[in-house]
Amino acid sequence: MGYRLDINGTVREVEVPGEMPLLWVLRDELGLVGTKYGCGKGYCGACTVHLDGAAVRSCQLKVESVGAAKVQTIEHIGTSATGARLQRAWLEIDVMQCGYCQAGQIMSACALLGRSTRPSDAEINAAMSGNICRCGCYHRIRSAIRIAAGFKEEADHVA
């Protein structure tokens, strides 16, 4: 089946089975490999992308269900002010260890800041608990979100 997808501001035409999850269309059809496969069941959040600004698990989203929605991936998130702020914050305190989950973390964080500009720690925990970081970089993920949201982070909180 052929589908017209709005991905990162560009219309892409793909010829794939409608059941194929968006994750594999991005990775294996369009070469957008920043979005990661972790579990294939929606447990880990490594495959998180934005659908009209909302965080979704692309491993659970059939390509036939995407329709006219605007898809945004980690490769493009830096073009938005919030995305760029998050990427800067992530680098300022060097959030990551292995880094494999971080694309999904940033996408979830960006969706959070899109609906709550000054999230509480409880809101951050709730919004991010679907994203697993196997290396356990959770303190810095939390801190980077707070930095991007304009909070002043205590140095030892960051460390």
Partner 1 sequence: MSPEPMSRAAMDRRTVLKASLLAGGGLALEALIPLPASALAAARGEPAAPAALSAFVSVAADGVVTIVSKNPEIGQGIKTSLPMIVADELDCDWSQVRISQADVDQARYGEQYAGGSTATTRDWLPMRQTGAAARAMLLQAAAKRWRVRPAELTTAKGRIFHRASGRSLGYGEVASAAAALPPPDLSQVPLKDPSQFTIIGQRVVGIDSARIVRGAPIFGVDTRLPGMLYAVYEVAPAYGGRLVKADVEAARRAPGVRHVIPIVGNGDYDSGLADGVAILATHWWLANEARAQLAVQWDLSAAKGHSSSVYRANAEAAIAKGPQSDLRVDGDAAGQLASAAKRVAARYDYPFIAHAPLEPQNCAARFSDGKLEIWAPSQTPQRGLAALEKALGIAPANVTLHLTRIGGGFGRRLMNDYMIQAAAIARAVPGVPVQLIWSREDDMRRDYYRPGGWHSFEAGVSERGELVAFTDHFVTFGDGKTTARAAGYNTAMPPAGLVPHLRYSQSMMPTVINTGALRAPGSNALAFASQSFLDEVAYAADTDLPRLMLATLGEPREVAAPGNGVPFDTGRARAVIARVVEISDWAQEPAGPQRAKGFAFYFSHRGYFAEVVDASVAGSEVTVHKVWVAGDIGSHIVNPMGAENQVRGAVIDGLAQALAGQAIEFVDGAVQQSNFHDFPLARMPLAPEIEIAWVRSAKPPTGLGEPALPPVIPALANAIFAATGTRVRSLPIRLRSA
- The answer to the question of residue 120 lying near partner 1 (CB under 8 A) is no
In whole angstroms, what is the distance from residue 141 CA to residue 105 CA?
A: 8
- The answer to the question of residue 3 lying near partner 1 (CB under 8 A) is no
- Please say which residue, 5 or 124, places its beta carbon nearer to partner 1: 124
Coil/strand/helix, residue 115: helix
Binding residue for partner 1 (CB under 8 A) from 12, 34, 70, 114?
34
- Please say which residue, 41 or 152, places its beta carbon nearer to partner 1: 41
CB 20 within 8 A of CB 58: no
- Structure tokens of 114? 């899109």
Smallest gap from residue 65 Cβ to partner 1 (A): 15
Binding residue for partner 1 (CB under 8 A) from 65, 99, 114, 123?
99
CB 5 within 8 A of CB 45: no
Number of residues that bind partner 1 (CB under 8 A): 60
* Residues 6 or more apart whose Cβ sits within 8 Å of residue 12: 4, 5, 6, 30
Binding residue for partner 1 (CB under 8 A) from 131, 143, 146, 147?
131
